[in-house]
Structure 1
Amino acid sequence: MWVDFILRICLILTLIYLAWVDFHRFLIPNRFTYPMIVFGLIFNSFSPLAWCDAYLAWLGAIFGYSLLWIINQLYKQIRSQHGLGMGDAKLLAAFGAWLGIHSALWILALAALSGTIGGLLWLKYQKLPPSHPFPFGPFLAFAGIIQILWSSPLVHSLI
């Protein structure tokens, strides 16, 4: 139980840091996302404490990255510029690696909803046009933290 709790806290602290960096620099560093993907896949493939089945972790990592990569490519074809950074795709892949494909899809849905609302409010507050970019990583991190907490055995024991 303690190992699970410590892993979740470490992931949450990492996500808070990544959200802060992305908010200020429009960048999610690979030196964090690559290890998150690798350790999530190793953890769920070999640990007796796995948070999801290994095949769901692998599908989550592959699908998480691929989906945002495809969306970015489609956006680039239409608008002739990138719509997402690939750090966002790697972060979603990390969520898939740790929590599985189902959780990655919920995280993306919640991040898209909160990102739409939060992004529009942020642009309005900053007096920027709707076409101005804003970081998506903080919204992915927010949604991921909710899913990490929601799937915790500690939370389930309190409910």
Structure 2
Amino acid sequence: MWIDSILRIGLILILLYVAWIDFHRFLIPNRFTYPMIILGLAFNSLSPMPWCDAHWAWLGAILSYFLLWFINQLYKGIRSRHGLGMGDAKLLAGLGAWLGIHSALWILVLAAFCGMIGGLLWLKYQKLPSNHPFPFGPFLAFAGIIEILWTSPFVHSLI
């Protein structure tokens, strides 16, 4: 159980750092997302105590990435510019690799909801127009942290 807690704390710390970087630089570095994807897939495929079945982890990584890629392509076709960075897609793929497709979809819904509210507040606070870009990675990270904590055996022992 302590290994599970250490992994969850480590993943949360990485998500907090990635959120901070994206908030300040509008960039999610591959040096965080690629290892997150690979380690999540390896953990759920090889561990005796995976967080989800291996096939859900693989679907989580692959479908999460391509869902955001597809949304970005639709947006680009309509608005002639990117609506999402692919760092966001890789971050969601990493969360999907660790937590599975079901959790990744929940994370995306929660992040989108929080992003609409938080993004509008951020734009208003920064006195920027509503069509100005804002970082989505912090909202993905926030939703991912909620899901990591929510699925934790420690949290379930308290409930």
TM range (shorter): over 0.9
Instruction: Give the letter aligned to residue 88 of structure 1.
Output: D
Q: Which residue of 1 aligns with 2:47?
A: 47
Q: Which residue of 2 aligns with 1:89?
A: 89
In 2, the alpha carbon distance for the partners of 1:2 and 1:152 equals 11
Q: Which residue of 1 aligns with 2:63?
A: 63
Residue-by-residue CA offset, 1:13-52 (whole Å, 9 max, x unaligned):
0000000000000000000000000000000001011000
Q: Which residue of 2 aligns with 1:109?
A: 109
Shift of 1:67: 0.2
Instruction: Give the letter aligned to residue 27 of structure 1.
Output: L
In the TM superposition, structure 1's runs of 4+ consecutive aligned residues that sit over 4 Å from their partners are: none
Shift of 1:55: 0.2
SS at 2:129 equivalent? coil
Instruction: Give the letter aligned to residue 69 of structure 2.
Output: W
Q: Which residue of 2 aligns with 1:13?
A: 13
In 2, the alpha carbon distance for the partners of 1:112 and 1:48 equals 33
TM-score (norm 2): 0.99
Shift of 1:154: 0.2
Shift of 1:91: 0.3
Instruction: Give the letter aligned to residue 21 of structure 1.
Output: I
TM-score (norm 1): 0.99
Instruction: Give the letter aligned to residue 132 of structure 1.
Output: H
In 1, the alpha carbon distance for the partners of 2:153 and 2:48 equals 15
Q: Which residue of 2 aligns with 1:138?
A: 138
In 1, the alpha carbon distance for the partners of 2:27 and 2:126 equals 20
Shift of 1:88: 0.2
Q: Which residue of 1 aligns with 2:121?
A: 121
In 1, the alpha carbon distance for the partners of 2:64 and 2:30 equals 16
Unaligned runs of 5+ in 2: none
In 2, the alpha carbon distance for the partners of 1:20 and 1:49 equals 30
SS at 1:82 equivalent? coil
In 2, the alpha carbon distance for the partners of 1:113 and 1:63 equals 20
SS at 2:87 equivalent? helix
In 2, the alpha carbon distance for the partners of 1:63 and 1:155 equals 28
